[in-house]
Structure 1
Amino acid sequence: MQEPEPFEPEAARRAAGGAESSRANRGWWDRNADEYQTEHGAFLGDDRFVWGPEGLDEAEAELLGPSEDLTGRDVLEIGAGAAQCARWLAAQGARPVALDLSHRQLQHALRIGGAFPLVQADAGALPFRDASFDLACSAYGALPFVADPVLVLREVRRVLRPGGRFVFSVTHPVRWAFPDEPGSEGLSVSGSYFDRTPYVEQDERGRAVYVEHHRTLGDRVRDIVASGFRLVDLVEPEWPAWNTTEWGGWSPLRGSLIPGTAIFVCERD
């Protein structure tokens, strides 16, 4: 008997609340962690801190501060995946904690190894005491996938000590106006930049299996301010000549014309 073809999720723009987004994305990352690490593991490395597909490296960017100042600092990585960033931080003498929603992603962190804690938890309910960390970071973790980013930002601020810094990267908001294609077909505007309707992939019964939430640049700034942070920098990495990698809709062609990543540097007064 011929096996039925696997169902391909249907893409839609529709409302998706916090609980649905969390359930869908936990399941998606658990199912796709192996493929993700196989496809992108070489680019990410085992102990490299990369902020996004452009390849901006924390060793050069120093958005968390000079590398020599990381020694002895307590650092929380949110949406850590296989904890590559936490592993790099540990090599600088920091004391990282790697947190992720996905059990399978953390299994990859265990496989690669590292002498630091791994925590499975939702970024909207961080299981840490107030003022537990000096720094926090998130490279495409949590913030693009949550319905209420202010809740996450307030939780991060709560666990940071006064003077602490939180740096996070997300898909650049302008990319939502273009098709998610790396070639020339991805260079024509196909939707409104101002349409905040979530991008949802759903199964044959209409249940979300992946959710990504769109915020404009202005929304992100207002979220940061409403959470009690002070925005000190906004970095839009340019695509470097050495990077020939295509990653979803990111590519050298698109990267030379439109920004693909936005990195927000925030501080807790």
Structure 2
Amino acid sequence: MTSLPAQDPEQPPAPSARSAERVLGTVGSERRPASSAESVAANSAWWDADADDYHVEHGDFLGVADFMWCPEKLREADARLLGDVAGRDVLEVGCGSAPCARWLAVEGARVVGLDLSAGMLRYAAAANEATGLDVPLVRANGERLPFASESFDIACSAFGAVPFVADLGGLFGEVARVLRPGGSWVFAVTHPMRWIFPDDPGPNGLRVTGSYFDRTPYVEVDADGRATYVEYHRTLGDFIRALTGAGLTLLDLVEPTWPDGHTEEWGQWSPLRGALFPGTAIFRCRRS
């Protein structure tokens, strides 16, 4: 689960770079095209290498059986964007360590968690064992979902998969395919407007440094120019057109506000920035 808009492409990784950057040999970043095959290879390796650091940093925030939509602390228990899930077949796309999937299981859903990263699914399997919540886990690319058509009533994603795929329309088409008629697709991503600012939770993150309309992917690279991490920026219009093209109808766009008393930072999310502009966009959609 974690799309964080990547750091300022003009800046190399900080000296205290995460172990994923050290393991993969990341030396800098570029804005350049990246194919589906390149992004799958890079992001699979990245999240495998980053799984330990990620859970040390964010594990307490996410919990093991809780559905947190975003760093603004919007919980599904309160928002109910998925509606009543009891007795429903639910697919979580980009489940990470699957705390959301386990929460859904507690609520009575028949849920499957899917992720590209074996490292993240290792944490998911360990948490399944620790909680006794045996959520089925599948390793796969969201652009090619390994399920029969019309298998699920609901699909959801909290910062998983969507920002990391080259073919957004292909992902949405696959989600629409595996949903039953009238099924719901709800997903959270970094708010597209955040891409015009540096990836900084402090005052530096309040200045515009890029164009909202620049869709060139953000790519971290090693010394040979090979991608070690890939993330894609889309505008709000891009998301809506891709959804419509896949036969999905947008019902609502939720932009969570920063809650009073919430002082924790998560990457570039902070009380300073949250008071001024949205950090998360949650799309609530339905298949015709």
TM score, norm. by length of structure 2: 0.89
Q: Any conservation in 1 of the 2:111–2:136 contact (CA below 8 Å)?
A: yes
Matches within 5 A, 1:156-175: 156-175=175-194
- Per-residue deviation, 1:52: 1.0
The answer to whether 1:137 aligns with 2:152 is no
In structure 2, stretches of 5+ residues that fail to align are 1-20
The answer to whether 1:71 aligns with 2:89 is no
Q: Percent identity?
A: 60
Q: Any conservation in 1 of the 2:162–2:189 contact (CA below 8 Å)?
A: yes
Residue in structure 1 matched with residue 78 of structure 2 by the alignment: 60
- Alignment deviations for residues 97-147 of structure 1 (CA, whole Å, 9 cap, x no partner): 000000010110111112121000010111100100010000011110111
Q: Any conservation in 2 of the 1:25–1:209 contact (CA below 8 Å)?
A: yes
* SS, match of residue 189 in structure 1: coil
Residue in structure 2 matched with residue 43 of structure 1 by the alignment: 61
* SS, match of residue 158 in structure 1: helix
Q: Any conservation in 1 of the 2:26–2:220 contact (CA below 8 Å)?
A: no
Q: Distance in 2 between matches of 1:78 and 1:230?
A: 19
Residue in structure 2 matched with residue 228 of structure 1 by the alignment: 247
The answer to whether 1:26 aligns with 2:41 is no
Matches within 5 A, 1:176-215: 176-215=195-234
Equivalent position amino acid for 2:127 in 1: I
- Alignment deviations for residues 133-186 of structure 1 (CA, whole Å, 9 cap, x no partner): 010000011110111111000001100011100000111000000000000000
Residue in structure 2 matched with residue 82 of structure 1 by the alignment: 97
Equivalent position amino acid for 1:266 in 2: C
Q: Any conservation in 2 of the 1:236–1:263 contact (CA below 8 Å)?
A: yes
Aligned length: 262
RMSD value over aligned CA atoms? Answer: 1.1
* Alpha-carbon spacing, 1:8–1:130, altered in 2? closer, same or farther (3 Å): closer
Q: Distance in 2 between matches of 1:92 and 1:116?
A: 13
The answer to whether 1:262 aligns with 2:281 is yes
The answer to whether 1:11 aligns with 2:26 is no
Q: Distance in 1 between matches of 2:26 and 2:263?
A: 29
Q: Distance in 1 between matches of 2:204 and 2:32?
A: 24
Return the match for 1:149 from 154, 168, 172: 168
* SS, match of residue 93 in structure 1: coil
In structure 1, stretches of 5+ residues that fail to align are none
Q: Distance in 2 between matches of 1:251 and 1:116?
A: 32
- Runs ≥4 in structure 1, deviation > 6 angstroms? none
- Alignment deviations for residues 183-225 of structure 1 (CA, whole Å, 9 cap, x no partner): 0000000010110000111001000000000000111111110
TM score, norm. by length of structure 1: 0.95
Equivalent position amino acid for 2:124 in 1: A
Equivalent position amino acid for 1:133 in 2: F
- Per-residue deviation, 1:8: 4.2
Q: Any conservation in 1 of the 2:26–2:228 contact (CA below 8 Å)?
A: no
Matches within 5 A, 1:89-128: 89-113=104-128, 114-128=133-147
Equivalent position amino acid for 2:190 in 1: T
Q: Distance in 2 between matches of 1:9 and 1:166?
A: 37
* SS, match of residue 141 in structure 1: coil
Q: Any conservation in 2 of the 1:9–1:209 contact (CA below 8 Å)?
A: no
* SS, match of residue 106 in structure 1: helix
